[in-house]
């Protein structure tokens, strides 16, 4: 068996997952949190609670992710994963689904708050960067790493609403060609993200921080076509909670599995503990150095 740490959990798997952070097998009677094996994935139990974006949630909460010509993934109780790859399907593409929607399902099955976010260690604290797809989260996180900071995770961020502590996810980001060009990054050691032409898995094991860190700030990143330079605004607590609630990773999974109340409650708790800001940026990242100065200032303040 191969063992990895992801979002504060220990994962035991039959197959190697090189995009994850490796760890030793638990000792002293401690068990693993999540197991992954290869096998056939049965359909979810009828009647379905959810059928959306290739994800089905059964009446008992068991969830199936079905990606035609790639993989079927079955997830039960936030603990058991069955992976059924299609013949010839590339593992980088399979891992894209495992570490995105699959991890999101695990979080929601466990009633844990997953933000659609990157996280960076700055000093002894962490900076969370939330935003919709295309907001520039991964580009900004990679640029922060280029300045000497360390990556905590990309895309899905698990944060404890009571303590404000962020858990490290996995040592990799996904970048479009345009972002790699803007950051002057070559293709060495990178793999294509499945069928998304022009998007790449970029390993960052050497720049990864495997320890949990307290969040110093959360920033909602947004591209503003009218912006001439970056503008940073701190949200009052009520609005901050609404922003975090809107930035839950695939919140419709929470709706289908347990209802939304616990998610909103967690967002309110986290907003009460961690300052939440909005950073409106220009659309072409011409303001990137100024943005990074602002982000570093939030953590050092």
Task: Note the pLDDT tens digit of each residue in 69-110.
Answer: 999 999 999 999 999 999 999 888 899 999 999 999 999 999
* Interatomic CA distance for residues 79 and 106, integer angstroms: 7
Claim: this prediction has a pTM higher than 0.85: yes
| Angle at CA of residue 129, ends 99 and 94, nearest 5° | 15
- pLDDT at residue 29, rounded to an integer: 57
**222 in Cβ contact with 277 (< 8 Å):** no
Task: Note the pLDDT tens digit of each residue in 163-216.
Answer: 999 999 999 999 988 888 888 887 777 788 877 668 888 999 999 999 999 999
């Amino acid at each position: 068996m191969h063992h990895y740490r992801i979002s504060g959990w220990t994962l035991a798997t039959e197959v190697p997952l090189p995009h994850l952070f490796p760890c030793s097998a638990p000792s002293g009677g401690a068990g693993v949190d999540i197991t992954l094996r290869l096998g056939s994935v049965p359909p979810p139990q009828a009647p379905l609670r959810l059928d959306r974006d290739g994800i089905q949630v059964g009446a008992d909460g068991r969830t199936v992710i079905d990606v035609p010509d790639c993989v079927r993934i079955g997830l039960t109780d936030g603990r058991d994963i069955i992976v059924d790859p299609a013949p010839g399907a590339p593992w980088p593409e399979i891992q894209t689904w495992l570490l995105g929607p699959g991890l999101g399902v695990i979080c929601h099955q466990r009633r844990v708050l997953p933000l659609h976010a990157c996280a960076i260690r700055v000093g002894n604290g962490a900076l969370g960067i939330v935003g919709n797809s295309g907001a520039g989260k991964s580009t900004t996180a990679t640029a922060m790493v280029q300045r000497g900071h360390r990556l905590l995770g990309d895309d899905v961020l698990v944060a404890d609403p009571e303590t404000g502590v962020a858990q490290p996810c996995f040592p990799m980001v996904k970048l479009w060609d345009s972002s790699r060009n803007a950051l002057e990054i070559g293709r060495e050691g990178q793999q294509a993200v499945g069928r998304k032409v022009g998007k790449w898995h970029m390993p960052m094991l050497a720049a990864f921080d495997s320890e949990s860190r307290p969040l110093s700030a959360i920033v909602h990143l947004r591209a503003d076509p009218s912006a001439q330079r970056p503008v940073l605004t701190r949200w009052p607590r009520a609005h901050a909670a609404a922003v975090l609630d809107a930035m839950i990773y695939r919140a419709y999974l929470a709706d289908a599995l347990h209802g939304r109340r616990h998610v909103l409650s967690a967002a309110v708790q986290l907003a009460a503990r961690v300052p939440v800001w909005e950073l409106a940026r220009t659309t072409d990242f011409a303001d990137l150095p100024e943005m990074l100065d602002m982000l570093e200032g939030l953590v050092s303040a």
